[in-house]
Amino acid sequence: MRLPDGVTLGVEHFGEPTAPLVLLAGGTTMLSWPDALCQALARGGRHVVRYDLRDSGTSTTVNPGAPTYTLRDLAADAATLARGFDDRPAHLAGIGVGGMVAQVAAIEHPEAFSALTLVGTRPVAPGPVDDDLPDHDAAVLDRWFSLPMPDWSDRAAVAEYAAAGAKVLGDDPAAARTSAERVFDRTPGTEPEVQMANQMGMVFSRLDCTPRWRERLPELAIPALVVHGRRDPFFPVGNGEALAREIPGARLLVLDQAATAIPATATAEVAAAMLKLSRD
């Protein structure tokens, strides 16, 4: 979908366009949201749109080392998409970095959204973490970053790298391999540095995310669901617990067997919780 400012975002639809909209912000690619979850939401009577953030998948790509936008621009993208697909406020959901985008979007564009789901994210921007929030598991991340980088133009090598990383993080290596292959196939360009930025979302660690938004979370006046993996080493579960405390009335759903990704065994539970949120 092409936005008024010339940015193009890759989108995929599930369900009937006339049904209430659930907008899924990828983290960074739309494939962070499992097909089975999108299909379950559509069967529940929702028009589901998942999309790639800028610099991932089929969305607009700029110089990976020098992004020309901020987290707030990504939040504005979400609001523009929601308004473009439906005149009614949308249920907005974000996972990982997409969860940060979703928080800012819901705070700064409240008229565009009727409900909020946050998965595997935290209430502060990439970079130094607040003292009361658990930071990344250093030992796990050391093992992850110690993995040899693949040739980013080699599909099989990228897929194996993703599988090895998933094993370190506690996610399903087979699912990560398949997802990486799909991301590779739908990512334009073969330059290794662009592949690296798009596949791993490295560019987002350099986003300008000021001013902070955490202190504004109590302003949110829409139903909210916070989903977090008990075994998440990247954003440990205390981050999800903090979000649920600070967003008025938010429900916390902890997935005991999950790490950073939504496992296949949890898609039905997450979908049911999201559908209930929209009805309540």
pLDDT digit string (tens) for 46-77?
Answer: 999 999 988 888 887 776 566 678 889 999 99
pLDDT bracket for residue 167 (50, 70, 90):
very high
The helix (H) or strand (E) run that includes residue 106 is: helix 97-108
Distance CA 29, CA 162 (A): 14
Please check whether residue 8 is in contact with residue 52, taking contact to mean a CB–CB distance below 8 angstroms: no
Q: Is 209's pLDDT higher than 80? A: no
Per-domain boundaries in the chain: 11-129+190-279
Contact indicator for 171, 229 with CB cutoff of 8 Å:
no
Give the Cα-Cα-Cα angle 255, 256, 261 (nearest 5 degrees): 50
The 10s digit of each residue's pLDDT in 6-48 is 888 999 999 999 999 999 998 878 999 999 999 999 999 999 9
The rounded mean pLDDT for the chain is 90
| CATH code for the structural domain at 11-129+190-279 | 3.40.50.1820
Spatial separation of the C-alpha atoms in residues 79 and 102, rounded to whole Å: 9
Gap between the Cα atoms of 149 and 161, Å rounded: 7
Beta bridge partner(s), residue 92: 23, 116
Q: Give the pTM.
A: 0.94
The closest alpha carbon to 39, from 58, 22, 56, belongs to 22
Report the C-alpha gap between 240 and 154 in whole angstroms.
36
Q: In b/e form, how buried is each residue of 103-113, taking b as 16+ CB within 10 angstroms?
A: bbbbbebeebb
**How many other C-beta atoms can be found within 10 angstroms of the C-beta atom of residue 3?**
14
Output the six-digit token pair for 265.
């065994």
